[in-house]
Amino acid sequence: MKALFDQVSAKCSQITTQKYSTSFTLGIKFLSPTIRSAIFAIYGFVRLADEVVDSFHDYDRKGLLAQLRAETYVALQNKISLNPIINSFQQAVHQYQIDVALIEAFLDSMEMDLHKQVYTKQLYDKYIFGSAEVVGLMCLRVFCNGDDNEYGQLRHAAMKLGAAFQKVNFLRDIKADHYELGRMYFPNMDFNCFTEEDKAMIEQEIKAEFDEALQGIVKLPKHAKKGVYLAYIYYKSLFKKIQEIPAKQIMEKRARVPDFQKVLLMVNALFVPQAPEKLSADVG
């Protein structure tokens, strides 16, 4: 029975998300039940690709990623895959008309991670777009539920949120990326002599992206707003902890948000700021 297989597929994507990211799982649980499955499907897919390039070092990662890419395109064409995570992902893609170009850009960025390299500004921008901004856009298609006008208005903010999340991850995981994976994402930076000025420049960029992202979050549909806002304030909290770490210690300490603080953030997520125009209307 296909319906049962689809349920199993959706559950696999949900379990993948829960096992790999407690923070995103919390955010998804704050979304409306009507869209949770699609967001789990998107996260499960991107997590699968990320694991191939980041973790499967004893295997042919290039071959595995090529296989994942091929299976994804076949699934999109046939509207089914025997890989449960890909199967749930293709369902979300078709249901919410996610642009295949976003998927291609994401997989291209994952392929970039197969190679040890120092990123130029051009490569850095390409990687951020494909690895993070397009994921924000995939989720936005779900949040807007087919409303192209709303999607167009919120597109920029969704990209900025994805970029901010990714760059916070970069700062948090500098040691692993630099020493274990041989990656240097931030252009024109030398982490062997990383200064406070270098760190402040990166943090200023991230802060600006968070600010732009919030302008879109407050305008999201009700069924998505609280979940996205929870993810936003979680990453803002993580970002603040990173800001407190001196540049010379950034390789030694890995910032994290304690569990008790996550509970407080969940409470705060119930009180999403209103959009400026809504505030004006209320005052009037």
279 in a domain, yes or no?
no
98 within 8 A of 92, measured Cβ to Cβ: yes
* pLDDT (mean) for 170-194: 76
CATH number at residue 134: 1.10.600.10
Q: Which percentage of the chain shows pLDDT scores above 70?
A: 92
255 in a domain, yes or no?
yes
Q: Of the given ranges (136-140, 144-148, 270-274), which has the lowest mean pLDDT?
A: 270-274
What distance in Å separates the CA atoms of residue 204 and residue 127, rounded to the nearest whole number? 19
Residue 162's domain comprises 2-273
* pLDDT (mean) for 120-136: 94
Q: 3-class SS at 183?
A: strand
Give me the pLDDT at residue 140, please: 98
pLDDT band of residue 266 (cuts 50, 70, 90) is confident
281 in a domain, yes or no?
no
What distance in Å separates the CA atoms of residue 33 and residue 210, rounded to the nearest whole number? 26
Q: What is the DSSP secondary structure assignment for residue 147, as one 8-state letter?
A: -
284 in a domain, yes or no?
no
71 within 8 A of 45, measured Cβ to Cβ: no
258 in a domain, yes or no?
yes
pLDDT band of residue 282 (cuts 50, 70, 90) is very low
Question: How many domains does the chain contain in total?
Answer: 1
283 in a domain, yes or no?
no
147 in a domain, yes or no?
yes
Residue 284 pLDDT > 50: no
What distance in Å separates the CA atoms of residue 152 and residue 138, rounded to the nearest whole number? 13
280 in a domain, yes or no?
no
CB neighbourhood size of 117 (10 A): 14
pLDDT digits (tens, 9 = 90+) for 62-84: 999 999 999 999 999 999 999 99
Residue type, 279: L
What distance in Å separates the CA atoms of residue 188 and residue 242, rounded to the nearest whole number? 20
